[in-house]
Structure 1
């Protein structure tokens, strides 16, 4: 939380830079919590695509930021600039949370921040990353990796997923969903989803699962099985699993559990309901079961999550928007 610094240099990819700026520069309408203090740090002037950018501060400002984001940069065949690598290393040593979007991972790797850690990048560059930095545990099949103090993402849409993940960590699920609504994107894709969808996804109203997603979200309080989902979709269980894997990168039951956890987060933030009531409302049965799944997925118990985010002012979730933002990747 607090201050966010975008670390830029010549050759940065403008898409990742722009989406990070869009997420962290200003809070969505109706959100009244203190937002991020965003700065752009780099040399006197840099080239970003065909544009000329004048940063707010020099690279030495990175070590004063709470979070440092390194957007993707174009020429991964060349070593990243030494001054950028040194500034990133210094920021990490000063305690900043370090984030790379797409090929920005090459900067973090060059600074030694990913040694013996899992990391990812755009699938087209994972082999190069692994060959150049053999101590990095490269995972080519995920959207993003969260190591706590160092986070990396794949490219384009996955970079946005990681930015929303950061907002969720800092401000909770409701506010992250408000940012997603402003950007007109699905509110959550877990980092473990596949970054490369091998089967093209047709228009949502033509997709075999298009009607199933909202049907499930309206019945999260019910004990749904794979057979229930297959019957509703008029598919065999095997074909349902194949379509789910192609569309979301995960299994039907894992996707369903993720939606239950996200709904529980919203209820913990926006209501005074007890854990037993929330467990029942989200289809997780008992408080004990919910605590087990929630702690494993979110990293903290539900009670701790509520204490962290309940005191903050939040926008009122729009139920219709929540139900109609189907998690089919674009």
Structure 2
């Protein structure tokens, strides 16, 4: 992965970590290892093929944060947002794209739920007839909806390594039977309810990933990280999906950075640094993120539109 930009200096906060698209801070003077609060800032950076690309997508961080918070407000499960009176405020400079999170003991399992066969699940199915050990009917094609969503966890690999698809039995070995079952059941319940809501808004929720942690004081299962956003989920337009005259990319166009991936695939041989994204690709990508937000929430974003 290429070098990340220098993180913002935020008064009252100390930067501790940057991933491809997010930056983490703790309150100034707090021990990063024990601070009860974290500031999670969603950047406008966009990544593909293990590279952070230039330029960023203006407004992306705000759209993802707003959509995630919208879903959190509709999911009847404890989440990582710090709402107690002692939590510090989000700095004004990142008010539209950051949240203050409570510290959790995170589980090393990425909880993937698939309602359709596509992506890495399709590749595994084509090789073995199964996904993460779950046998599926023969003859399925890219984009086919499954009769029931399936839970296909992944092991969260250390930073710099790729996550590994695992069976449910392997997740039991990692976190124990009770926790593994709770992760699976919560993930399937949230996905099923979210898929129904998305369908009402003319959107197909194909798959998603959740992350959970444990409250270190109460032991409570807590939904963490982002949830049901364009970056953590695959959404398709229902009208195009069910149009029998369409196929391939026209049928399965997703509300995410697939536009970026497609452009890179056509204009870069994956040798050396990737090229700078053209302005029209940046604008189209922002448009897809924004369209999903409006489609799902039924409202325009209540933050200022990007100017650059």
TM-score range, shorter chain: under 0.3
With structure 2 as the length reference, what TM-score do the two structures score? 0.27
Provide the TM-score with structure 1 as the length reference.
Answer: 0.26
Q: Greater share of helix residues, 1 or 2? A: 1
**Larger Rg belongs to:** 1
